[in-house]
A = this chain, B = another copy of it.
Amino acid sequence: MAVENQELRKAGLKVTLPRVKILQILESTGETTQHMSAEDVYRALLEAGEDVGLATVYRVLTQFETAGLVTRHNFETGHSVFEIARGEHHDHMVCLDSGDVVEFNDPVIEQRQREIAEHHGFEIVDHSLVLYVRKLKR
């Protein structure tokens, strides 16, 4: 009984094989594959020999998102990608050449966003900042 079980219980979700497996997959992805689509997760399950339906993958990912275990991103790709929520917020830089995703967090920008929202009579509930970049030739 691994750590995953505790996380699931804490989130109020029953410990089932699909949920444990999906959580493991999301947690085990390396730096380069941190952001997986539902389809990616589904294929990873099949490769691992687990017989889980794609519909279940979608359901579980949505439950994880609701539970705060996972963050959903809608980049310009036409489909959602998911990543394990590790507490601290961060933004993304997506390299248009390599597809690499770099995470960053800048206090200056964060602060400025709050000021701008407030200036317009709003408070920020959430935000999404994605830089689409290209490698600098030197």
Query: Using a CB–CB distance below 8 Å, which chain A residues touch chain B?
Result: 74, 76, 93, 95-96, 102, 104, 106, 108-109, 112-113, 116-118, 120-136
Contacts and interface: CB of A to CB of B under 8 A. Distances in A.
Contacts of A129: 113, 127-130
A111 to B, nearest CB: 9
Contacts of A116: 93, 104, 106, 131
A95 B120 CA distance: 11
24 contacts: A74-B74, A74-B76, A93-B117, A106-B112, A108-B112, A109-B113, A113-B129, A116-B131, A117-B131, A118-B136, A121-B135, A121-B136, A122-B134, A123-B133, A123-B134, A124-B132, A124-B133, A125-B133, A125-B134, A126-B131, A126-B132, A127-B131, A128-B129, A128-B130
B128 A76 contact: yes
Contacts of A131: 113, 116-117, 122, 124, 126-127
A22 B96 CA distance: 30
Contacts of A136: 118, 121-123
Nearest to A77: B74
